[in-house]
Amino acid sequence: MLGRLNHVGVAVPSVDAALGRYRALFGTDAVGAPFDLEPQGVRVCFVSAGNTEIELIAPLGADSPLRGFLERNPAGGQHHVAYEVPDVEAARDAFAGLGVRALGEPRPGAHGSLVLFLHPKDMGGVLVELMEPPAAGH
Amino acid sequence: MLGRLNHVGVAVPSVDAALGRYRALFGTDAVGAPFDLEPQGVRVCFVSAGNTEIELIAPLGADSPLRGFLERNPAGGQHHVAYEVPDVEAARDAFAGLGVRALGEPRPGAHGSLVLFLHPKDMGGVLVELMEPPAAGH
């Protein structure tokens, strides 16, 4: 049901403040340009680890869904794992058949392709994002 | 400093109880055989996601370092991310130069190669494992 690990989502208090560390860890060329993803209330930056990516995310706006996570984890931490699926809506139906609930409806994600989050209570405490593969070069 | 993402470590209350879910998620062939890693106090099973692996870990023995995590997260959850480095001791020294502390000393990990964990307080709340690449077929 799940394909390759597209990225690991890591929450940080500030994406821009974290870039120096991630450039030191993965190299300057591995770190993309940060951008705001307003519909999801996050500021985002992708970092390449070669075989997959790290998605740095920080709260954007007062209603960001990340604010609760950062209240519990003020320094940041691992937030979600995103797997590629060919069709998010078909995957949602297949997970529903396993008793796994979706959080909301499919919507465009940071790569522009459709994404959907699954309820961590139904996934062993792991927040799983399903995403359709982005177009080349995301 | 960091190479490819070798695996995402996911804590579960019981590796064996989690295998059914992971076979459904990734396919029967993707799920390896569980085994005990007594020096680290964990029972382990690797699951292939194609481009990287999920390492399921559950407590083994009364002194397992995972017991505290599962007390805080009874259903389990994302525990660590493991990156490959060519030389763990050289990486430890490089991280020390950035002010990042190691947790303990390098020791053989689940793949048999040397591993070392870094202090999450120095890594934005993320528990990072450094590991030398395993021999083919780990």
Q: Once rounded to an integer, what is the mean pLDDT over residues A52-69?
A: 96
User: How confident is the model at residue A136, as a pLDDT?
Assistant: 67
Give the Å distances, CA to CA, from B67 to A120, B63, B121: 20, 8, 19
Q: Which superfamily does CATH assign the domain made up of A5-131 to?
A: 2,3-Dihydroxybiphenyl 1,2-Dioxygenase, domain 1 (3.10.180.10)
pLDDT in tens, B92-127: 999 999 999 999 999 999 988 999 999 999 999 999
So which residues of A are the catalytic ones?
129
Q: Is the dihedral of CA A86, A87, A88, A91 positive or negative?
A: negative
Inter-chain residue contact A26 with B73, CB threshold 8 Å: no
The SS3 call for residue A106 is strand
> Nearest CB to A73: which of B50, B83, B125?
B125
- The mean pLDDT value of chain A amounts to 95
Q: Once rounded to an integer, what is the mean pLDDT over residues A112-135?
A: 95
Which residue matches tokens 């320094």? A75
Strand locations in chain A, DSSP E?
5-11, 35-37, 42-48, 53-59, 77-84, 102-108, 114-118, 128-131
> Nearest CB to B1: which of A25, A120, A127?
A25
Name the residue of chain A whose CA is nearest to B19's CA.
A124
Inter-chain residue contact B24 with A12, CB threshold 8 Å: no
pLDDT above 90 coverage of chain B, percent: 92
A96 touches chain B (CB under 8 A): no
- Over 90: is that where the pLDDT of A36 sits? yes
User: How confident is the model at residue A39, as a pLDDT?
Assistant: 87
Name the residue of chain A whose CA is nearest to B80's CA.
A78
